[in-house]
Amino acid sequence: MKYLITGYKGQLGYDVKRELLKRGVGEENILPLDKDEMDITNREEVNKVVKEFAPDVVFHCAAWTAVDKAEDMEDACYNVNVVGTKNVVDASIEVGATTIYMSTDYVFDGTKEGLYTEEDKVNPKSVYGRTKFLGEEEVRRNPKHFITRISWVFGINGHNFIRTMLKLSDNHSELNVVDDQIGSPTYTVDLAKSLVDMSNSDKYGTYNVTNSEYCSWAEFAEYIFESNKKDVKVNKVTTEEYLELTGTKQAYRPRNSKLDKSKLEENFGLLPTWKDAVNRYNIELEEEKKLVKKYNI
């Protein structure tokens, strides 16, 4: 089996490659690409690269993820998330490859009571959410596809909420954090395992894939500080209060991002709890610190 990964320099693409290597896939059978190696918005370039490598599976991790910037740069966001995805899907179909696509909880408006299932009606309220859903529609043209709706992602290879909170804890004794947006933090190490499981399966379709259990951003922050022994008080505020306090303008964010994982559990098994994931990520961060200190990088 040969695997192509787009968006390799991001948090998820990096861990997908690590997971493949862990399972004994040879380097020569993995083509990890970032925009420098393949610009997904360039149709000819995508066709050339995909046809030459002829993968069995394409992990499409590349995306425009700057949610707030997308509101002012709709064309650029559309170009990456929709046109880029169309190019990747067309090339995948051409070589008979399975497409595995990362979508988002932002395809929902977050107003539902209870958990969102894969069959619930979408209603994205942001440019980012709309373009990711249009990307889903492109992916559905390939009969061999997996669409994974993920949320609140963190991994070792990039910026994320945990890194931000730990950095802020260096010079803040208290922080205001939103408490009315509820979802599931998702560790790219766990997510990558699920994605690779999918790549070896023909149980195609749309899946909610996040770590187990739910929390608010404020509860997430509290656990980050607690598990890292940081003495920081978290002031729980509403989204409106946060925007007023910071004077910032943000894209719409769903309040309820609780995704039902029954379909995932039935077909591939649940991911560990988000607290368990944070504990393991903390160990990764410690290892990273040691390497930085040892090699002065």
Domains of the chain: 3-295 (3.40.50.720)
Tokens of 168: 């802020």
Please tell me the predicted confidence (pLDDT) of residue 263: 98
Task: Give the Cα separation of 98 and 60 in Å (integer).
Answer: 10
pTM value surpassing 0.85? yes
Where the chain has pLDDT below 50, the residues are none
Grouping H, G, I as helix, E, B as strand and the rest as coil, residue 177 is: strand
166 and 256 in contact (C-beta within 8 Å)? no
Strands 174-178 and 30-32: unpaired
Tokens 């990039």 sit at which residue? 158
Contact present, 213 and 273 (Cβ < 8 Å):
yes
| Strand, coil or helix: 269 | coil
pLDDT, residue 10, reads 96
pLDDT, residue 202, reads: 97
128 is catalytic: yes
Burial annotation 86-104 (CB, 10 A radius, 16+ → b, else e) = bbbbbbbbebebbbbbbbb
Kindly give the pairing relationship between strand 153-154 and strand 174-178: unpaired
Q: Which of 166, 153, 158 is nearest to 282 (CA)?
A: 166
What is the distance between the alpha carbons of residues 71 and 154, in angstroms, rounded to a whole number?
Answer: 23
As given in the structure block, the two tokens for residue 100 are 């595995």
Cβ pair 145, 139 in contact under 8 A: yes
**pLDDT score of 92:** 98
201: left (phi over 0), alpha (psi -120 to 50) or beta: beta
Instruction: Give residue for tokens 């051409």.
Output: 94
Structure tokens at 142: 């390939």
CB 106 within 8 A of CB 250: no
Contact (Cβ atoms closer than 8 angstroms) between residue 102 and residue 62? no
How many whole angstroms separate alpha carbon 216 and alpha carbon 283? 23
What pairs with residue 148 in β-bridges? 102, 207
Cβ atoms within 10 Å of 198's Cβ, excluding its own: 24
pLDDT in tens, 97-156: 999 999 999 999 999 999 999 999 999 999 999 999 999 999 999 999 999 999 999 999
Q: Give every CB contact of residue 250 below 8 A, 6+ residues apart in sequence.
A: 67, 68, 243
Is the separation of the CB atoms in 260 and 208 below 8 Å?
yes
Active-site residue (options: 3, 14, 78, 128): 128
